[in-house]
Amino acid sequence: MRSGLLLLVIPLFAFSVMHKFYVSVTNIQYSEKDNSLQITSRIFIDDLENVLEERYGVEMNLATKKESGEANFYIEKYMRSKLVISMDNATKDFVFLGKKYDNDLVICYLEVEDIDLPKHETLAVENDILTDLFDEQQNIVHFRINGEKKSFVLVKENNKGMLNL
């Protein structure tokens, strides 16, 4: 009787295990004062460390006293390979301004300089952050342009969001 009950209960425990939610949040805002797109990306520290180690073979120890002196270099390199900003189908380079930590997140600060927004018709973002590590990864992108806010949830199979300006 006990072994029969045990066989019924064990499968229930398999469904009760917490599954991690894989998500990043990127905010893109136009600064009229600076004529620039100001971008922040929030990524879980452990996920970013895992992808940097898998992709580049480096151990970063982010947000610790042992953090690698090359952390910014590899984070910028990864961001450049996974985040593409385009205006009117032309890719725009961004400047990696730096990062800070907030609890279990790393916040990356980026900027696309010298943008005369009224001269453009479209703004697009292609976001593949962490999709090379997690098939379930969702990258939420919030645009705040001309007082309007538009959001996209981008996934591996649908990684691009576009705004008509």
Question: What are the distances in angstroms from CA 101 to CA 63, 98, 108, 130?
Answer: 7, 11, 9, 18
Each residue's pLDDT tens digit, 152-163:
999 999 999 998
What average pLDDT does range 27-46 have in this prediction? 96
Q: Which of 7-11, 29-33, 37-41 has the highest mean pLDDT?
A: 37-41
Instruction: Answer positive or negative: Cα dihedral of 156, 92, 150, 122.
Output: negative
Q: What is the pLDDT of residue 148?
A: 85
Structure tokens at 49: 């460390």
The arithmetic mean of pLDDT across residues 19-43, rounded, is 92
pTM for the predicted model, two decimal places: 0.86
Run of H or E including 156: none
| Tokens encoding 74 | 């590899």
What gap in Å lies between CA 25 and CA 9, rounded to an integer?
A: 38
Nearest Cα neighbor of 153 from 140, 134, 162, 163 is 140
